[in-house]
Homo-oligomer: A and B are copies of this chain.
Amino acid sequence: MRKLKMIVAYDGTDFSGFQRQPDRRTVQGALEEVLSRITREPVQVTGAGRTDAGVHAWGQVIHFDTTSRIPLSRWLRVMNVALPRDMAVRRVEEVPLSFHARKDACWKRYRYTLDNRPVPDVFTRRFRTRWKGPPLKVDRMRQAAHMLIGTHDFTSFSSAKSPVVNRVRTLYRCQVWQPEKGVVAVEVAGNGFLYNMVRIIAGTLSEVGAGMLEPNAVREILDARNRARGGKTLSPEGLTMMEVGYNPWEETEGEHR
């Protein structure tokens, strides 16, 4: 028995999320189907995080156990030939049997991208959310973003439906920049994320950027610990899971893939 870890990218548009569901196309389901076919044994996949329907990944991490003797050097190619075109394996490693993709994760990094231009862009529409409100002012968004960094109770930034009791999390990074004119990216890294947390952070920062909220309001929203005070939950297509870290967070400056 060996344990393999893979870094997986997918275009989430045509998936009903990560988690396996009967009669639905899911990321876990597609991976398990392909892995079982390749190894000729039933394979169970565990992911670092369960992305929602429509959410993408550049660096989702999965693990699975297998008795297959396929050499490590061949796995990458075998997988990318077998996977559907909206999925790809970027890296394969053998890991100790004790490794766990979700439980061992120290941090995750997500990016949310908004398109604020007047004309929709047909080439990037699957990966960016259109912001139809007033123009986004990046300076304002940065001021607000800065207040979210650190250890806080993020109740105001998580779905009211979430059953989690302890909503204290640490954000290591919360950056806002313009990859091109009229496009705004929000990137967050933290030790854990509550349900819908990134989409609510992006929604709140956008409302600040559009002038609907003052940057300082973010501090009050945090303190209120009340979901009703946070901004709207933005739609899933702008969200991409970028990276999962298995060592303690160290800030690496200016790394904007």
Q: List residues of chain B with CB within 8 A of the CB of A88.
A: 119-122
| Segment from A28-36, A45-53, A79-87, A144-152 that makes contact with B | A79-87
The interface size bin for chain A is 20 to 34
Out of B11, B58, B76, B122, name the residue touching A11 (CB < 8 Å): B122
Number of copies of chain A assembled together = 2
Contacts of A154 in B (CB 8 A): none
| Chain B, Cβ-Cβ closest to A77 | B118
Residues 87-113 of chain A, each 1 if its beta carbon lies under 8 Å from chain B, else 0: 111100000000000000000000000
Interface 1/0 per residue, A111-149 and B, CB below 8 Å: 000000011111101010000000000000000000000
Q: Which residues of B contact A56 (CB under 8 A)?
A: 122-123
**Chain B residues whose C-beta falls within 8 Å of the C-beta of A85 in the assembled complex:** 120, 122, 125
The reply on A10 being an interface residue by CB < 8 A is yes
Decide if A176 is an interface residue (CB 8 Å cutoff): no
Q: How far is the CA of A80 from the CA of B115 in the complex (A)?
A: 15
Q: Which 9 A-B pairs have the closest CB atoms?
A: A11-B122, A88-B120, A9-B122, A88-B122, A90-B119, A86-B122, A88-B119, A85-B125, A10-B122
Task: Name the contact of A123 in the complex, choosing from B80, B122, B127 (C-beta under 8 A).
Answer: B127
Closest to A12 in B: B122
A243 to chain B, nearest CB (A): 15
Sample of 19 more A-B contacts, CB < 8 Å, known A56-B123, A85-B125? A9-B121, A9-B122, A9-B123, A10-B122, A11-B122, A11-B123, A11-B125, A56-B122, A58-B123, A76-B118, A76-B119, A80-B119, A80-B120, A85-B120, A85-B122, A86-B125, A87-B122, A88-B119, A89-B119
Question: Which of A10, A89, A90, A120 counts the most chain B CB atoms within 10 A?
Answer: A120
